Amino acid sequence: MGDERREFDVIVIGAGVSGIYQINRLVDAGFDAVVLEADDDVGGTWYRNRYPGCRFDSESYTYGYSFSRELLDEWHWKERFSPQPENLRYLNYVVDKFDLRRHMRFG
């Protein structure tokens, strides 16, 4: 994007769980949208928090996106309460599968 000025229909702040969901829905609906993320990659909480024992506090499947039956069929959580590395892998998998990274600006 560089110094180029551009207008978007929608700007989403943050590429965490909610931001990833939102950009997917917006792009599917035909909006010209972008995610602005302060960190260097997707994940939000799951990108920043890497302390020992960091994991979901609810069953992993409840964090899975339901906007794609194919995604639900493809991804299999390895643990009932997934640890941070798996959560981050999942979010990156979703972003790459749906080619969402091209709608994101980092740092």
What is the structure's pLDDT at 6? 86
Side-chain half-sphere exposure of 73, counting CA atoms within 13 A = 3
- Which phi and psi (to 5°) does residue 36 adopt? -105, 120
Average pLDDT of the segment spanning 10-16 = 99
Is residue 53 very low, low, confident or very high in pLDDT (cuts 50, 70, 90)? Answer: very high
Question: What are the chain's domains?
Answer: 10-106 (3.50.50.60)
**Which one is predicted more confidently, 4 or 80?**
80
Residue 79 Cα distances to 3, 46, 56, 60, 95, angstroms: 44, 16, 10, 7, 21
Average pLDDT of the residues in 3-18: 90
What span, in angstroms and rounded, lies between the C-alpha atoms of 14 and 55?
Answer: 20
Average pLDDT over residues 9-36: 98
* Residues 12, 23 contacting (CB under 8 angstroms): yes
